[in-house]
Amino acid sequence: MPGEANKENSATEMKKATARTKQATTPKAKRYLDCSICRTIPDRAQADWIRDELLGDPLPKAESRLMVVGAPFFVDRHSHSHSCLKQCPECDTFYGWDFSYEYLVHGSEDEVVLTRLSDAEGQRRARAVFTTIEADETKFRAEAVPRIDTLLDSPDGKGVYGAAYFLQGGQMRGHDVSFAIHALVKALVRFSAADEENTYLESCASLIYLVLSDAVKESPEAAGRVLDILESKGVDATNTELKRVKWLIADCRKPLATG
């Protein structure tokens, strides 16, 4: 069944990531005291803002060097109240990061709290992070099936923008979209050749190009697949006037040149 191999690879990578987390966090009493990053971070740090004005001290500068576990699915964005798990890239110490936001008439009241966690608690939260990501990816792949059918079969482009937008959403959450590459390339060629006065199909082609461009930028394997699909259709940079296809071919050649 198409995409099953990629699904298995994704699950394998998730297990490897979880295993790396477990291995990296082998208990070592207060190792953060000797860490160039964590030794400047207290057990608990808090920063508060009212109407974008900082009250008191900011978080330690070293906080910016901590990595978000499960990024880009989880983020430390200051846009709405949420939490994430962070980890030191040097000593593997875990931290809870919590952002709260309260709307005020002329601004907002914001609070960020950073709390150092025990290894046991950090590992527990890390497992929960990867479980959440894996469940979301399984759901994403299942819901992508009818969208791929739309990309392949829509005679007039109806539903194509929504299908590409759905795939881009999964991609932005860190999910692999290589299982949809064939359908995306086929749709790109078809809708790039549409009448330029059709602004809807132009928008479809632009969004499909963005999804494919992001997919191939750091993946020589994906880049090679795209070029193979284009070649099977007799399309290359020397014989096509389709600008987005030309852009995509150029995007594919970069990772292949350095991979």
Span 19-39, average pLDDT? 68
Residue 233 lies inside a defined structural domain of this protein: yes
Residue 250 lies inside a defined structural domain of this protein: yes
Q: Are residues 15 and 57 in the same domain?
A: yes
Q: Are residues 32 and 105 in the same domain?
A: yes
Residue 28: the pLDDT is: 52
**Residue 216, burial from CB neighbour count under 10 angstroms (0-12, 13-18, 19+):** buried
Domain count of the chain?
A: 2
pLDDT tens-digit readout, 50-63: 777 778 788 999 99
Residue 192: the pLDDT is: 87
Percent of the chain with pLDDT over 70: 85
Residue 55: the pLDDT is: 83
Position 135 pLDDT exceeds 70: yes
Residue 66 lies inside a defined structural domain of this protein: yes
Domain boundary among 125, 140, 170: 125
Span 105-132, average pLDDT? 90
Domain boundary among 107, 125, 143: 125
Q: Are residues 56 and 105 in the same domain?
A: yes
Residue 172 lies inside a defined structural domain of this protein: yes
Position 1 pLDDT exceeds 90: no
Residue 141 lies inside a defined structural domain of this protein: no
Q: Are residues 8 and 121 in the same domain?
A: yes
Residue 140 lies inside a defined structural domain of this protein: no
Residue 64 lies inside a defined structural domain of this protein: yes
Q: Are residues 167 and 69 in the same domain?
A: no
Span 84-101, average pLDDT? 94
The mean pLDDT of the chain is: 86
Span 115-138, average pLDDT? 96
Q: Are residues 163 and 235 in the same domain?
A: yes
Q: Are residues 59 and 119 in the same domain?
A: yes
Range of the domain at 96: 4-125
Q: Are residues 120 and 173 in the same domain?
A: no
pLDDT tens-digit readout, 142-163: 999 999 999 999 988 899 999 9
Q: Are residues 99 and 181 in the same domain?
A: no
Position 206 pLDDT exceeds 50: yes
Query: In the block, which residue shows the tokens 């390339």?
Result: 185
User: What pTM did the predictor assign?
Assistant: 0.79
Concatenated DSSP letters for the chain? Answer: -TTHHHHHHHHHHHHHHHHHHHHHT---TTGGGG-TTGGGS-SEEEEEEETTEEES----GGGGGSEETTTTTS---TTSSEEEEEE-TTT--EEEEEEEEEEETTEEEEEEEEEE--HHHHHHHHHHHHHHHHHHHHHHHHHHHHHHHHHHH-SS-TTHHHHHHHHHHHHHTT---GGGHHHHHHHHHHHHTS-TT-HHHHHHHHHHHHHHHHHHHT-HHHHHHHHHHHHHTT--TTT---HHHHHHHHHHHHHHHH-
The pLDDT confidence band at residue 172, using thresholds 50, 70 and 90, is very high
Residue 253 lies inside a defined structural domain of this protein: yes
The pLDDT confidence band at residue 104, using thresholds 50, 70 and 90, is low
Residue 23: the pLDDT is: 45
Residue 108: the pLDDT is: 72
Q: Are residues 109 and 178 in the same domain?
A: no
Position 16 pLDDT exceeds 80: no
Q: Are residues 108 and 168 in the same domain?
A: no
Span 14-42, average pLDDT? 67
Distance CA 164, CA 159 (A): 9
Residue 50: the pLDDT is: 79
Q: Are residues 192 and 119 in the same domain?
A: no
Span 21-41, average pLDDT? 73
Residue 259: the pLDDT is: 58
